[in-house]
Each structure stands twice: as C-alpha cells, then as structure tokens.
Amino acid sequence: MEAFIYSDASHRLQLMEWEQAYPSLAAGFTLRSGGQSKAPYASNNFGLHVGDEPADVIANRRTLCEQIGMSFKMFTCANQVHGNEVVQVTATRGGAGSTDSVETIGDVDGMHTNEAGVLLASFYADCVPLYFLDPQTRAIGLAHAGWKGTVARISAKMLNAMQQAYGSEVDDIRVAIGPSIGGCCYEVDERIIEQVRHASPQWQRSVTAVGNGKYMLDLRTLNELIVIESGVLPKHIVRTNWCTSCRTDLFFSHRKEAGKTGRMASYIGWK
C-alpha cells in the first residue's frame, strides 16, 4: 500500500498513515505543480539555492504552511551538503533559512526536534527523504539521503541522535521513506557500488548488475536495510512507490532534467 497519498487540490503527497494516527502532526512531500515559479523551475519550487526568483520560492513556502496550518516563521531549513551530520532544532532556531538560504542551519543533512510549532523542511530532486517519528517522546526528524548520505548511514546517525537527545527507544521509532529516484532509473558505476558494499551487510539486495560495469541502485531499499539493522522494527517502516525520474509530470528530477530544475520539499512538524 502506498504510504504517500496524492492530493491534487493541495499539490502535495500526505504521509496519511502518520497524520491520521497523530492528528496534530503534519508530514508530507510537495509536488512540482501548483506554485508561482517560472520555467525551468515551474512551478512549485522550494529551493532558494537553484537560481529561481526568491520571491516566488518564498510564496510557495508560505502557501504550504497555510495549507498545513503551521507558521511560516517556523519553516526551518539546513544547508544540505550530501553528508551525514544531523542537528537538534529548538524553537529558538526555528525559521532558519525560511526566506534566505544564507541563514539556514549549518552544513547538515538531518534535523530533529520534539518541540511543537517547529516545521522541519528539506529539499529534493531525486535524493531520498527519510522521516522519523517517536510517538512516545514526540521526537521527529528529517534526513536528506542521496547516495553519499546513504552509504554514510545518515539514517543510523539520526536514530542514534534521537536516542541521545530524547531518550527514544529505537523499537518505538517509526520511519517513512519518501519519493526519490527508484531502482528502475538510478544507474551508477563501480565507483559508487564500491562504497555501497560497505553500507550494509545485505547491500546486494539493493543492487542489480546490468553489465559493462553499470548497476541499478535502489537507495530506498538500501536505507530500509540500514534502519532495520539499526534496530527499527520492520512493521514500523513505511515506504513509497513513487519514482521522481519516472514521474516528471509530478516531480522535479535532477538526473532526468539534466540538473536544471526545481526542488520538492519534505516536511514534518507538530502543530
């Protein structure tokens, strides 16, 4: 069953299982349509760093906050660098990067909090969005996992951070794996696969050899393997079937669109 449910009216995918179980939680993933940005960022671009008109990006971000009932002043972003660093976000840091990419939180690819009102957001055009939720401590997190962050096990680092910061028990934590380029479309070479081999003892389950030193890599499966190895219960994991490269009618795809495109946003926050 698909975990991220399409909503044409609001131009986003809702993480419906979590939102229904926890009505004060907002969690989902935006689509490329329904915003103000012009080509080649048309139209619902959330990335201030890609060359789009800032006023259009800010308007798109404001609209999302209105739709989900959260304050734009607490729309919080990090400067994503394809690493595995994660950081705790308190209300005093809420809103970092909402209107200016220079003011984002550090060079990190993961954020976590347990404070109501803080909306965590990160940006994508093929990389894997990872969502974390501990219903017991109300800790939540987002991690941006491209191939570099995945093989650096950013998901395991987030789980450890939640345990350290909030006293979370790993078998209480829920994980959602969101829309990204799928194993159907993500062809890589031996240079990347050599690093994938060190990411998980079961790495082969995420890789299909296609010959001539090329492989199809399923980053969603690799991240799922890593979080299970880190102690997350399989029944607490949900994942998507949406591929950003297959569905450029719905999503921006850095690979499919040769790098000149917008960014979707993953988001999570307690209202």
Alpha-carbon gap, residue 74 to 113, rounded angstroms: 12
**pLDDT at residue 137 greater than cutoff 90:** yes
Please give the Cα distance from 25 to 11 (Å, whole number).
18
Q: Is residue 55 part of a domain?
A: yes
User: What is the phi/psi pair of residue 224, to 5°?
Assistant: -65, -40
Does 261 reside within a domain?
yes
Burial class (CB in 10 A: 0-12, 13-18, 19+), 66: exposed
Q: The sheet that has 25-30: what strands, in order across it?
A: 4-7, 12-15, 25-30, 264-270, 119-124, 75-76
CATH number, domain of 70, equals: 3.60.140.10
Residue 165 is given by DSSP the state H
Instruction: Label residue 1 by pLDDT band (50, 70, 90).
Output: confident
User: pLDDT grade, residue 242 (50/70/90)?
Assistant: very high
Is position 125 within any domain?
yes
Is residue 211 assigned to a domain? no
Does 224 fall in a domain?
no
Global pTM reads 0.98
| 23: preceding bond cis by omega (within 30 degrees) | no
Q: State which residues form the domain around 79.
A: 4-180+236-270
The reply to whether 126 falls in a domain is yes
Instruction: Give CA–CA dist 76/100, Å, rounded.
Output: 11
If one counts the domains in the chain, the total is 1
Is residue 43, in this structure, part of any structural domain at all?
Answer: yes
Within a domain: residue 228?
no
Asked if 113 contacts 88 with a C-beta cutoff of 8 angstroms, the reply is yes
237: pLDDT strictly greater than 90: yes
Closest CA to 14 of 23, 27, 1: 27
Tell me: pLDDT of 40 over 90.
yes
